[in-house]
Structure 1
């Protein structure tokens, strides 16, 4: 039985097209206040473009302090590109700045698409949320200032070609965190010598979380407190990608106070720290000589 007063965890939400990620967060926050009678912290673990739909991992309560750990998870998208047009935002929201004739065969396009299954330095789009000198890139781009962006190493693990109906092509992409699908589609267009922009984008997975398990925003905003508590994934389960470290009796207090100490568990790296009863105490890092360094205490 879930703790009816505990609203610490994550919701998997299917964002509709044509709203901002922040708008979605604010709507959820307002609804939680309405049904619980109190202010509850709500955040997200990675934006989706205004025109895009799909999975957003929404953090609630104490889980808002865990955002950084979710941000590194792999992603999966379904995207459609249109060849022969280039927009200033690399997507359908932007203004067409160039049109070119596209004389390419289906076979050649397939070859180009699959050539992006690799690790390489990718240039973010000028209209992106990257920070440059305290400003977002899109804020500079809107003022006509060319943002000084730097390429970032990204990994495209797999591209599945779903459909080609020239000038349109639809692909499923499994990629590392930080990959811009708008940049990928443009790069495919550049390699095809005619440019391309994203006409449709949907995020289908974040780590092992799937959009098929997500609740539509419109449905979530109709849910009662009990229904939402039942949809909530607790912090311990949400952090499935971190190794578990169960502390021996007597060490809980030391961890909670932020003290470093030696543990039996071998291996270095981040761990989710539990007490003997299985309660999540927080996040720690095992360093040299099996020393546990508390990073976040969640009590």
Structure 2
């Protein structure tokens, strides 16, 4: 069967399996959907599983707003050892006794809540001169990293069994969970590294909307055998573009105002609006048309427009 790549638009919430890179997962999904344009938001390490939003077509225009959203994780840390990568794939570089008590643990967790400074791992995907840091690290090249301000909204203890610690974390963009676990281990005086990590949520995306690669493989197999339209198999799994933007405030505009808006005119609102990025919808059907930014003097400025052609 000859397959030609096609234009499709929407968002898939992939449940990424352990052991593959985010890019490999993307390429597999892109192949299954026979899509000509796709990208993912928020890299997950090969060790990590869970929510990896895949954006197709026009949805890729708005992926950055999902990347910048809060994320929720479930992480399991091994105590008593430190690795060079801060996870189970690394080499043990330090071993320490586990001497802290429950009060020490709660105090340490409390100290990481709120706005904190974090130095990204040298084994992270953060780029330096166009290449991810982990490529320099594997070559033995040390790159100085600047600390970055992040926010830990929630850091909840799930269980503690002597040398294992399970935590649920709600955090801002730019947070490296491996680094957080490594820093927590040093705070407790025993060292720690990640042995399991699962991303539960990105922005307000629904956990129960995720689909696994195995499920996609099975659906694609049926398509290959029967030749029935992909719309009957995988396309029905796609969510609307604005489903990835529900964490942003929304303003609905009448059609005549939208016309002026699309012509590049500034729209002024008398009522107080939330500053920053907002979703713009049109008319009685609340049709999503794009993203705008509210200025300090309450003007709405077009930032990213959906192409409906």
Q: Normalising by the residue count of structure 1, what TM-score does the alignment of the two structures yield?
A: 0.89
- 1:271 and 2:267 are equivalent in the alignment: no
Deviation at 1:107, TM superposition (A): 4.2
How far apart, in 1, do the equivalents of 2:208 and 2:251 lie?
Answer: 30
Q: How does 1:230-249 map to 2 (within 5 A)?
A: 230-249=236-255
- In 2 relative to 1, CA 66–265 (structure 1 residues): closer, same or farther, beyond 3 Å? farther
How far apart, in 1, do the equivalents of 2:158 and 2:297 lie?
Answer: 49
Task: Provide, for residues 83-140 of structure 1, a one-character-per-residue CA deviation record: whole Å limited to 9, x for no partner.
Answer: 1211111000111122223333344334323332232101111101112233321111
Task: Specify the alignment match of 1:12 in structure 2.
Answer: 13
Q: Normalising by the residue count of structure 2, what TM-score does the alignment of the two structures yield?
A: 0.86
Deviation at 1:235, TM superposition (A): 1.6
Moved more, 187-196 or 10-19: 187-196
Q: Given that residues 87 and 197 in structure 1 are in contact (C-alpha distance below 8 angstroms), is that contact kept between their aligned partners in structure 2?
A: yes
Query: Which of 249, 255, 270 is the equivalent residue of 2:261?
Result: 255
Query: Which of 276, 286, 293 is the equivalent residue of 2:294?
Result: 286
Moved more, 166-175 or 126-135: 126-135
- In 2 relative to 1, CA 298–165 (structure 1 residues): closer, same or farther, beyond 3 Å? same
- In 2 relative to 1, CA 249–181 (structure 1 residues): closer, same or farther, beyond 3 Å? closer
How far apart, in 1, do the equivalents of 2:278 and 2:109 lie?
Answer: 38
Moved more, 251-260 or 170-179: 251-260
How far apart, in 2, do the equivalents of 1:287 and 1:118 lie?
Answer: 27
Q: Given that residues 7 and 36 in structure 2 are in contact (C-alpha distance below 8 angstroms), is that contact kept between their aligned partners in structure 1?
A: no
User: How many pairs align?
Assistant: 290
Task: Specify the alignment match of 2:226 in structure 1.
Answer: none
Deviation at 1:295, TM superposition (A): 1.3
Deviation at 1:218, TM superposition (A): 1.2
Task: Specify the alignment match of 2:47 in structure 1.
Answer: 51
Deviation at 1:274, TM superposition (A): 2.4
- 1:138 and 2:134 are equivalent in the alignment: yes
Deviation at 1:66, TM superposition (A): 0.6
Deviation at 1:294, TM superposition (A): 1.4
Task: Specify the alignment match of 1:61 in structure 2.
Answer: 57
Task: Provide, for residues 216-274 of structure 1, a one-character-per-residue CA deviation record: whole Å limited to 9, x for no partner.
Answer: 12112333433433322212333212233333333434433444344566424322222
Task: Specify the alignment match of 1:87 in structure 2.
Answer: 83
- 1:166 and 2:162 are equivalent in the alignment: yes
Q: Given that residues 117 and 158 in structure 1 are in contact (C-alpha distance below 8 angstroms), is that contact kept between their aligned partners in structure 2?
A: yes
Task: Provide, for residues 164-215 of structure 1, a one-character-per-residue CA deviation record: whole Å limited to 9, x for no partner.
Answer: 1111111111111211111111111101222111111111111222433311
Q: Which runs of 5+ in 2 are unaligned?
A: 1-5, 220-229
- In 2 relative to 1, CA 288–193 (structure 1 residues): closer, same or farther, beyond 3 Å? closer
Query: Which of 172, 175, 179 is the equivalent residue of 1:176?
Result: 172
How far apart, in 1, do the equivalents of 2:268 and 2:159 lie?
Answer: 55
Q: What is the DSSP-based 3-state SS (H/G/I as helix, E as strand, rest coil) of the residue aligned with 2:201? A: strand
